[in-house]
Amino acid sequence: MVNIETNIQNTKYRPEDIQGNIVRGYNFKYVRHLILEVSDVKAARRFLAASVSDDSGDVPSITRETSWKKKPESCFNIGFTYEGLKALGLSRKQLASFPKEFVEGMTKRALKIGDFGESAPETWPAPFDQPDRVHIVASVHAKNIKSIDGIQDIVARSFNVIGVRDGRALDKGKIVFGYVDGISQPKLKHVHDPSEDKDDQPINPLGVVLLGYPTRLEGVLFSLPQPEKELGFNGTFNAFRVLSQNAAEFETYLTEAAEDLLKHKDIDHLLPAKEVKLFGKGHTRKSAIREIVAAQMLGRWRNGVPYETSPDTPNPDPEVSLTNFNYGYKSRCPVGAHMRRANPRGGPIVQHVANRTRRIVRRGMVYGPDFDPSKPDNEERGLLGNFIGANLGAQFEAIMYDWLNLGLQHPDITGSNDPILGANSRETSWFDLTLKNGGKIRLRGFPRFITSRGGAYTFLPSIRAVKYLSDLSG
Amino acid sequence: MSKTEGWFARYVDTLQSRGWFKFVSKYIVVPYWIWRAPKPKLPGGPRVSPQPSDNIQRMMNLIMPLKDPSPIGRATAVSVVAQNVDEIFAGLDNVGTVHFARFLLLDDKLCMISAYDGDFSNYIRDFIVTVGSVFDEIMTQIDGGDDLIPTEHNVEKFIEWVHEHDLFQAPDYPTHMFALQDEAIGREPNKPPHMIQSLPRDLILQLHANPNISLGGGYRSYPGFTAAQVRDKFGVGW
């Protein structure tokens, strides 16, 4: 019999066995992702054993999902690539029990997830130019950089640190394109996250994010790495991505699009002159159109207000919920908008059984210097993203391939890529803006705004599984 | 070049039809090359491509060996398909990305042939979510099928199994096969370049590894349109 709580006999949901930052976020100011190579397997195992023991000495303890009474100075978490698990000594048979996409690794799945052309793994800088050496991505979240430095020093005693990526949170969780991000995450059964209290999207079974629980796909269970109790259960998978976001090109394109649209015969159906005042003080018709283009491309205004429930203004009065809305046949939010592509909610899609089944947890921090739209520069900046789900193929890759980059979910967008994240080129890109009268204006000629600059598929094991890995011999 | 070929050249040209040469080729030369330069079995189904048009109307030729290939076993398989086919086709309607699908019985194999849009894994996964328990009935008739039942609990394994039993789709340009053969053994494609003269030999060796193949990508009368776009155009709902 399957236990009510889990699909593994004699087990229950135990937050203390699950790594932190998976089902609930930390909300720290700083993060550093340490890219590690296992150069001394014995030292690595000793480190892992200490990191999950009651007395870890100076080795950082792996932070667990357990609620804290007082927020710690820093949190430490760890994910392993296939190469990393191999280096730690998992047997060939155990390694073969991992899903194919994880075994192949992010670089071999490049075509599926849009990493070609200027995003191709062959163009990635070190350490991601040598995927065989990327064994572990350890993430330190902290209130200040100093505590991060201290932890890195300790980690470096047991591993070869082949690269680091530093990120930070911008005000209100903004990304470099100026949008407020991280508003909606999948709500999970048994997990209480007060920030989701007002989100009325359906609650997901834990199996969306953790291995060993019922999934969102009716009747379907995802397979677990073996041995399932010791290694697979309570683990999950992560697509760690370094995504360069070209803010200067994005702002330039918005201006170009607004200038073209001002001359368009249907401009009054996009923004009647008398409605410019709805955008607040200081806006011209052109600047307001820029914001409409930005909002329709994403599905939210840059302040986070959903386009679906507030299509005329970023400042609705009365306010609207940031999370509670649905899409329909007559939605004002374009079918091709980034957010609607990635999560079509209950809206009409071609794959009738796929609504709400490809949810992923997104944990992102910004990297690179601040961007000032009034003084645009081309420094590299972007997002260090963790895209977490129990099955990379059924969730992350399924979104990237069919929905973001092919537009298979709706006949009106098929053949186009996501306007924000898609693998676009100026020659072929297109995106349909919706108009008040039900019509459309097609935008063309936008470049690829986001390119991959590194990443890895990692397995985020349970606490018990870290212990299991530390006990390996040979 | 001399205007008249010598007797030896003329003789070589006739080798293909000479009994002794056929015998030597079949029993000595080909087995020798299979031993010396074996080709790995090339993966089934369409290849991943960044081109949107390559990702639409893709062919699946799923060839499933019957557990019992006797006339009785074949008849049983036929009746199991007949009992479940309506439900399976109704399920495909919900998968939403399938243009057509049909079953064939060929000798000792049951085949499911279909054209679908988008990613292969998503197609098979959505198919299992929709009609997995019904398709399990079919799998009871298939050699190796018992290891995959219930398919809903073996989704990843089932996707891989289907991939392995989907026919290799030979490229439309014969020389593209060189690159695929290189990739399959982890070599950089066409480095060094292959001699065109070796194509027949490489094809023979590949047909040893993949005895059944799909010849090219097939014909489409309305390429580049999804099932949903066609249905939308005709107003039949998608």
* Residue range A209-236, pLDDT digits in tens: 999 999 999 889 999 999 999 999 999 9
Q: Is residue B193 included in any domain, yes or no?
A: no
Q: List residues bridging with A141 in a β-sheet.
A: A31, A75
Residue among A441, A134, A138 at smallest CA distance from A297: A441
CB–CB of A141/A106 below 8 Å? no
pLDDT at residue A124 is higher than 90: yes
| Over residues A322-337, mean pLDDT | 96
Counts for chain B of helices (H) and strands (E), in that order: 9, 5
Q: In what order do the strands lie in the sheet with B98-106?
A: B58-65, B109-116, B98-106
State whether B60 and B132 are in the same domain.
yes
When scoring A406, A418, A430 by the number of chain B Cβ atoms within 10 A, the one with the most, hence best to mutate, is A406
CB contact under 8 A, A351 and B95: yes
CB contact under 8 A, A393 and B229: no
**pLDDT tens sequence across A392-434:** 999 999 999 999 999 999 999 999 999 999 999 999 999 999 9
Contact list in B for residue A119 (CB cut-off 8 A) is none
Instruction: Please report the pLDDT score of residue B4 as a whole number.
Output: 67
Q: Is residue B30 included in any domain, yes or no?
A: yes
| Over residues A326-341, mean pLDDT | 96
| Over residues A22-47, mean pLDDT | 96
Q: Is residue B200 included in any domain, yes or no?
A: no
Q: Is residue B174 included in any domain, yes or no?
A: no
| Over residues A308-328, mean pLDDT | 96
Structural domains counted in chain B: 2
At residue B3 the predicted structure's pLDDT band, cuts being 50, 70 and 90, is: low
Give CA separation, B95 vs A353, A415, B100, B163, B206, in Å.
Answer: 7, 19, 12, 18, 34
At residue A195 the predicted structure's pLDDT band, cuts being 50, 70 and 90, is: confident
Instruction: Please report the pLDDT score of residue A197 as a whole number.
Output: 85
Q: Which of B168, B198, B227 is the last residue of a domain?
A: B168
Contacts 24+ apart (CB under 8 A), B194-200: B199/B174, B199/B175
Percent of the residues in chain A that have a pLDDT greater than 70, as a whole number: 99
Tell me which chain B residue has its CA closest to the CA of residue A102: B156
Domain limits at B32? 1-36
State whether B125 and B156 are in the same domain.
yes
Residue among B85, B46, B38 at smallest CA distance from B166: B46
Tell me which chain B residue has its CA closest to the CA of residue A217: B129
Instruction: Please report the pLDDT score of residue A3 as a whole number.
Output: 46
User: Is B125 strand, coil or helix?
Assistant: helix
State whether B68 and B32 are in the same domain.
no
Give CA separation, A267 vs A263, A280, A335, B12, in Å.
Answer: 7, 20, 20, 76
Instruction: Please report the pLDDT score of residue A171 as a whole number.
Output: 87
| Over residues B149-159, mean pLDDT | 96
CB contact under 8 A, B119 and A397: yes
Instruction: Please report the pLDDT score of residue A2 as a whole number.
Output: 40
At residue A9 the predicted structure's pLDDT band, cuts being 50, 70 and 90, is: confident
State whether B58 and B149 are in the same domain.
yes
What is the token pair recorded at A375? 């003084």
Total beta-carbon pairs less than 8 A apart between chain A and chain B:
105
State whether B6 and B78 are in the same domain.
no
State whether B74 and B113 are in the same domain.
yes
Measured from the Cβ of residue A301, the count of other Cβ atoms closer than 10 Å reads: 23
State whether B151 and B103 are in the same domain.
yes
Q: Which of B142, B168, B194 is the last residue of a domain?
A: B168
When scoring A414, A428, A430, A448 by the number of chain B Cβ atoms within 10 A, the one with the most, hence best to mutate, is A414
When scoring B97, B98, B119 by the number of chain A Cβ atoms within 10 A, the one with the most, hence best to mutate, is B119
Q: Is residue B217 included in any domain, yes or no?
A: no
CB contact under 8 A, B48 and A349: no
CB contact under 8 A, A411 and B232: yes
State whether B162 and B56 are in the same domain.
yes
B49 to chain A nearest CA, in Å? 7
State whether B32 and B83 are in the same domain.
no
Q: Is residue B231 included in any domain, yes or no?
A: no
**pLDDT tens sequence across B46-96:** 998 888 889 999 999 999 999 999 999 999 999 999 999 999 999 999 999
| Over residues A9-30, mean pLDDT | 91
State whether B65 and B143 are in the same domain.
yes
State whether B99 and B14 are in the same domain.
no
pLDDT at residue B137 is higher than 70: yes
State whether B73 and B160 are in the same domain.
yes
A359 to chain B nearest CA, in Å? 14
The CA-CA-CA angle for residues A217, A218, A220, to 5°, reads 70
Q: Is residue B223 included in any domain, yes or no?
A: no
ipTM: 0.93
What is the token pair recorded at B161? 């199994």
CB-closest option in B118, B154, B232 to A406 = B118
Q: Is residue B204 included in any domain, yes or no?
A: no
Q: What is the mean pLDDT of chain A?
A: 95
CATH number at residue B85: 3.30.70.100
DSSP B98: E
Q: Which of B111, B137, B168 is the last residue of a domain?
A: B168
Residues 104-123 of chain B whose Cβ lies under 8 A from any Cβ of chain A: 117-119, 121-122
Q: Kindly list the residues of chain A whose beta carbon comes within 8 Å of any beta carbon in chain B.
A: 99-100, 111-112, 114, 116-117, 217-223, 349-354, 357, 391, 393-394, 397-398, 401-402, 406, 408, 410-411, 414-415, 423
Measure CA of the first residue to CA of the last residue in chain B; give whole Å.
65
pLDDT at residue A308 is higher than 80: yes
**pLDDT tens sequence across A437-461:** 999 999 999 999 999 999 999 999 9
**pLDDT tens sequence across A60-115:** 999 999 999 999 999 999 999 999 999 999 999 999 999 999 999 999 999 999 99
At residue A274 the predicted structure's pLDDT band, cuts being 50, 70 and 90, is: very high
Residues 21-50 of chain B whose Cβ lies under 8 A from any Cβ of chain A: 48-50
